[in-house]
Structure formats: structure tokens, C-alpha cells
Amino acid sequence: MKEGFRQAMAWLHTWAGLIFGWLLFAIFLTGTLSYFKNEISQWTQPELVPHQVTEVDSVNRAQRWLQENAGDAKRWFITLPDERSPALGLSWAKARGGFERKSLDALSGTPVQARESMGGEFFYRFHFQLQMPYPWGRWLASLSAMVMFVALVSGIITHKKIFKEFFTFRPRKGQRTWLDGHNAVAVLVLPFHLMITYSSLVIFMTMIMPVSILTTYGGNTQAFFDDLFPAFKTAPASTETAPLAPIAPMFEVAAEKWPGSRIGLITVNNPGKANASVTLTPSGADHIPNISGTTLMFDGVSGALKDESTMSAASLMLAGGLYGLHMGHFAGPLLRWLYFLAGIGGTAMIGTGLVIWLGKRKLKHAKAGVLPFELRLVEMLNVASMSGLMLAVVSFFWANRLLPVSFAGRSDWEVRTFFCMWGLALLHAFVRVFFREGRSAWREQLTLAASLYCALPVLDLLTAGDYLFASLKQGQMTLAALDVTALITGIFLAWGAMRFGEGGKVAFVSKLTPTDSRRKSDSGVSANSGSEPARESVRADATAQEAN
Amino acid sequence: METLSVSASAPEKRQKAVKRTGARSGEVSVRWRLAVASRVTAALIGGYLLTALSSVCLAQFLPLARAEAVVLAMTLSFLVYLPAVLWCFVCRTAWRAWFGLLLPSAVLGAIYASARWLL
């Protein structure tokens, strides 16, 4: 019965992982990039230069511009520049419905003159909306998250000796190496995997598990959100007009109430009306949990503090804490890189899992030399979802530098380039896998991707070198760091492409196959990792894993 | 009913074994496929039902302010979904999977209904 239980878990792990693996790979990869959302946006809009500006100056400039250009709006939102995003972010709900955004230069207070680009926002949006219409993308992403959760836990159960095996890594042993790598990376960042998966469900819980709101609040779901975020209640604008009080003095009150915390978001309700109000929210960069319910509310005409609310209930801190951990707004540079590396670990875990699934089944057909249709289909999707996505990502950056700066709709064309490249990669994978063999698809796509990543810094130098040097002179490392990261990625992909080269048949050949003994003598690498008993137990465990 | 579930279970397990050892493809029976589809549906829909009802009961009975109880109920609900899904693939037959989800769902539904409308 016990073995039956673990076998059932192995079966579930295998199939849940396969069917959602391709989508999860894309979600994890683009989500990982999103940890550097603002930095990517800086790279894609190098015209934006960070300035040393005080909060007071920034908010005065924002208020002046909005009063002149969006005086009749229902509501304004202002975010101040910080160390990760140089521009003043403005958005407002228009009187006749609809929503508009604008970035202001923090120094001049005029709209930024930068090339149009979604930048990091594109990867961020894609990782939970999947370029699908609302709410379908979010639902599909949430379903994938639930499947990820199931795959994680069933994987842990399948794999009971995870900690012992963690120290067992046998390189250059084909299938076994992939399995060791899969296990090692899974265990190494297991807390991250569990946190990121569960928190993604919590982030969208009001969209995917809303029944309890309905049973508690009836049809009036807005009342639930008003309870949580009392400061964001919308009141109809009064017909009387009154000038808006200056926002900057309110910051002094906030500095007293929240020592050591900056202001994240400024919300102005009914600006220019007699019932105007201003709400300040602390910056997410200074707190781990998301506490958007903690606010100070000011009268918009007199400028006096009217009300304050604090989000401190345990249940709200639990949900807000998970939310905050997922987003990582609080992370400084070091922790942000750790987040990024953990994200790569998650992506690699999914990728190796997909490779193992196919590798195991390929073994059965090794003698015949012909793969059945369904295995070719899986191989095609593996190639397109992994190396194809890497190609799509880098082509987005290439498009950003190659499309003319003033080209109309260039932002859309960047996105279009991303998906066209991905589509072409799928087509290429199809042709290669079905009419030649999968290895050539991997090799060619990885080679192209490697050269595009390696050449990205060169392209950046040629097309936007002035910005790069200017930013370095200012001591800003963001642009250079992205170039270096692209170069390292390119080198890694080149190494991957070489492993798929004509000579070395390393990737999918198992130790258990007859071809292996030949390969072993070729490479001259002996099993030298892991103690003998550990390896024995691994073997027994691996057999259980293979039993599906 | 019981005989049906037993007869559905036996081939289900056996087919899995055959699939594992047999090198030739196409040996998976229609019955096995249906049983798997039934388990998947039970996990998705039955699991969701049980999860939703658990969160409804939690929100109703947690001694917290209304909004806090609802937030906690939603936050914890996925911890119910997970074992519900695992159950669907661990239990011996697809019928059991459904039974094991619908029975507690009915109990939770009855508890909520009686608390809401009878007491």
C-alpha cells in the first residue's frame, strides 16, 4: 500500500508536470525576469536618466502637471521615483471613464521623451496574464500554479530521500545526471518553490476562490474591499469646486507616523472638488508584507489629517506577507539577485523535468531508432517552449534597439517580435523534430540564441552606447549589468548548444542502455560522486521514480 | 455499484503495470482512460467544490472580523485543495475519488446551511 501510494504520487507528478510543464516554464522564466522589471525597463528606455530629487520636489511637480493636464479626473495616482525607477509615475481615472498613464521626468516635471516600450512590464504582465484577455489569462495562470503546487508536493512524496540525494550528483551520466540535477535544484530552492507557488494562488484568491466573499457579503463584493482598504472607497464627486491643498506638507505628517518608511503611492480622490481627499500609502520597498490597507487620509481642501487605518490583523498579515514575498519589492540588490537565481532554479527544475520525461521514454525506442508521434510532439514542444522562449526573449531586446526610436507603435512591434520569434521557433522545432531529429532542433536554436545573447552587449554599444557610458559615468550599473547578464546567458546557451553537437551523445542516453558502456570508455569519466550506500539508496529510489 | 467500482479498479491498476512494462504502444484500454479522466474531473471540480465549501465554512465560523475571516478563509483554502487533488489519484478507484470528495462536501454544505438558515 505504501509503495502504491508513492507510485500514485510519481504518476501524478509525471503527468501533471508534463502537461503544464511547458506553460509553467514560460511563467517561471518571465516571472524570474520580472524581479528586474524596473531595471529591464531602464534598459529598454535608456533615455530615462535617474536624478537626485527630493520627495517634496517630485510630488510638487506631479501635482502641478496633473492640475494642468488632468484637472477633471476622478482620481489621480502618483508614484515617486526611487532607486529602481527614475521617473515619476502618474496615472488617472478620466471623468468619462477610462484610464491614462504618463511618466514625468523627475527633474523637469515634463513628460519623459523616451522611446515607447513596455520593457519589464511586458514580461511581468505576460507571466500572469499570458497575453490573454481578462480574466482568462489570470485563471489559466492560477490553474497552472495549482498544478505546480500538486506537482511539487507529489514530487516531494515520490522522492522521500530528498536530502540524502541532494548530495548525490553524478555528472556526465545522461539520464541519471538530468534526474540528479532536477532533484538537486528542486531541493536547493524548495522553500522558494513552495512560497512562490502558494503565494501566487493567494495573490489571485479573490479571483479564483471568491465564494466566501459572496456568502459573507452577499452580492455587495465592493463592501469587502472597502472593509479591507477603507481609504480607497470611492465617493461621488461633489459639484462644488475647491482648490486642492498642496500634497507635500502631508509628507511631514507621514514621516512622523511612519518613521523610516517612504511614501509608495499617493492617491487623490476627486481632485479640485470640495470633497477631495488625499491618501498616502507606505512604500512596498520598506516592508516585506504588502500593507496597502495601511494609509493616512487627508482632507483634500484643508490638508488636515482626517483618518488613518492600519493593516495589522494576523490574517491580513499572512496574506499580505505571502503577497509581499512573491513580489519581492522589499528586496535590496543582493536579495534581488538571490530571488533571480532562485527563479532560474525553478525554471531549470521544470526544464529538466520535461527533458527527463522524454529521455526516459526515448530509451524504449532507442533500438528501433524511430520515435512515435507523441514523443516527437513532446520533443517539439520541449524545444519550442525552452530554447524557443529564450530566443523570443532576446529578440524583444533586439527589437528594442533596432526599431527606430520614433517609429509609431514600436512598443507593439516589440511585443509582436517576441511572439513572431516564438512562433518561428515552434515551426523550426516542428520541421526539425518531425523531418530530421530533435538534437538538431536544440542545437540550431541554442546556437542562434547564444549568438544573439552574446551579441546583445555589442548591439547595445553600437545603438545606445552613449547612454551606456553616460550611465556608467554617473555610477549607474543597471544598463551594464543587463548587458553582462545577457553575455553570461549567451555563454551558458553556447555551452548547451555544444552539448547537443554532432559528436557527443550525452543528453538522452542512459547509463542503463547498451550504448552507454561505449560512451563511458570514450569519456573516461567514472562515477565518483556520492558514497556507495547513498548511491544504492538513490538507485532504489530512482527505480521508484521511474515506475510510471 | 460496488461491483462496478471494483471491476473498474482492477483493470485500472493492471493497465498501469502493463503500460510500464510493455514496449508496444496502444495497450491502454478505453476503460482505463475513462477512469483517469474521471479522476482528473473529480480532482478539478470535486476538489474545487470541497475547497470552496471549506472556505465558506471557515469564513462563517472563524471568530474574526468579517473581512479578516474571509481573507484567512481564502488564504488557507488552497491547503484543502492540495490533499483533495492528491486523494483523487491515491484512492483505489475513480468512484472512491468522487465519493471521498462529495461526502465531506455534503457535510460541510449541511453544516453551513444549518448554521445560516436554521439556527
Write out pLDDT tens, residues B65-85: 999 999 999 999 999 999 999
In the numeric block, the cell 465549501 is attached to B53
Secondary structure of residue A88 in the 3-state scheme: strand
Interface contact flag, A548 B75, Cβ < 8 Å? no
Tell me the count of A-B CB pairs closer than 8 A.
Answer: 96
Q: Residue B106's domain spans which residues?
A: 2-118
pLDDT the model gives residue A293: 81
Secondary structure of residue A106 in the 3-state scheme: coil
Residue B57 and residue B116 in contact, taking contact as beta carbons nearer than 8 Å? no
The structural domain count of chain B equals: 1
Band of residue B50 on the pLDDT scale cut at 50, 70, 90: very high
Please determine, for residue B103, whether its predicted confidence score (pLDDT) is greater than 50.
yes
Chain B residues with beta carbon closer than 8 angstroms to that of A149: 78, 82
pLDDT the model gives residue A165: 65
pLDDT the model gives residue A178: 84
pLDDT the model gives residue B4: 33
- Inform me whether the C-beta atom of residue B1 falls under 8 Å from chain A C-beta atoms: no
Interface contact flag, A319 B72, Cβ < 8 Å? yes
For chain A, 548 residues long, give each residue's pLDDT as a single digit of tens: 456 888 899 999 999 999 999 999 999 999 999 999 999 999 999 988 888 888 899 999 999 999 999 988 999 999 999 888 888 999 999 988 888 888 898 888 888 888 999 999 999 999 999 999 989 999 999 999 999 999 999 999 888 766 666 666 777 777 788 888 888 888 888 999 999 999 999 999 999 999 999 999 988 888 998 888 887 777 788 888 899 999 999 999 999 988 888 898 999 999 999 999 999 999 888 888 888 888 999 999 999 998 888 888 888 999 999 999 999 999 999 999 999 999 999 999 999 999 999 998 988 887 777 889 999 999 999 999 999 999 999 999 999 999 999 888 999 999 999 999 999 999 999 999 999 888 999 999 999 999 999 999 999 999 999 999 999 998 889 999 999 999 999 999 999 999 887 654 444 443 333 333 333 333 333 333 333 333 334 344 444 444 43
Chain A residues with beta carbon closer than 8 angstroms to that of B60: 215-216
Mean pLDDT of chain B: 81
Please determine, for residue B16, whether its predicted confidence score (pLDDT) is greater than 70.
no
- Inform me whether the C-beta atom of residue B81 falls under 8 Å from chain A C-beta atoms: yes
Chain B residues with beta carbon closer than 8 angstroms to that of A210: 74
pLDDT the model gives residue A529: 37
In the numeric block, the cell 468619462 is attached to A96
- Inform me whether the C-beta atom of residue B56 falls under 8 Å from chain A C-beta atoms: yes
Chain B residues with beta carbon closer than 8 angstroms to that of A322: 75
Each residue of A54-91: b (16+ CB within 10 Å) or e? ebebbbebbbebbeeebeebbbbbbbbbeebbbbbbbb
pLDDT the model gives residue A136: 95
pLDDT the model gives residue A167: 66
Q: Helix and strand tally (H, E) in chain B?
A: 5, 0
- Inform me whether the C-beta atom of residue B75 falls under 8 Å from chain A C-beta atoms: yes
pLDDT the model gives residue A2: 53
pLDDT the model gives residue A503: 53
Q: What is the DSSP code (8-state) at residue A368?
A: T
Bridge partners of residue A76, in order along the sequence: A92, A268
Separation between Cα atoms, residue A181 and residue A352, nearest integer Å: 7
> Between residues B3 and A102, which one has the greater pLDDT?
A102
A328, A338, A343 from A334: Cα distances, Å: 12, 6, 14
Name residue A167's amino acid: F
Query: Chain B: nearest CA to A547, how far in angstroms?
Result: 7
Separation between Cα atoms, residue B41 and residue B45, nearest integer Å: 6
Interface contact flag, A315 B68, Cβ < 8 Å? yes
Interface contact flag, A205 B68, Cβ < 8 Å? no
pLDDT the model gives residue A436: 87
- Inform me whether the C-beta atom of residue B77 falls under 8 Å from chain A C-beta atoms: yes
Name residue A526's amino acid: S
Secondary structure of residue A266 in the 3-state scheme: strand
- Inform me whether the C-beta atom of residue B54 falls under 8 Å from chain A C-beta atoms: no
Query: Chain A: nearest CA to B91, how far in angstroms?
Result: 9
Domain definitions of chain A by residue range: 371-513
Most B CBs within 10 Å, among A14, A15, A212, to test the B interface: A212
pLDDT the model gives residue A236: 83
Q: Say what the ipTM of the complex is.
A: 0.84
Chain A residues with beta carbon closer than 8 angstroms to that of B25: 372
Q: Which three cell numbers mark A349?
A: 527544475
Nearest Cα to Cα of residue A487 among A442, A513, A520, A454: A454
Three-state SS letters, A464-525? HHHHHHHHHHCCCCHHHHHHHHHHHHHHHHHHHHHHCCCCCCCCCCECCCCHHHHHHHHHCC
Most B CBs within 10 Å, among A211, A214, A292, to test the B interface: A211
Interface contact flag, A217 B65, Cβ < 8 Å? no
> Which of B70, B75, B82 minimises the CB distance to A153?
B82
Length of chain A: 548
pLDDT the model gives residue A163: 63
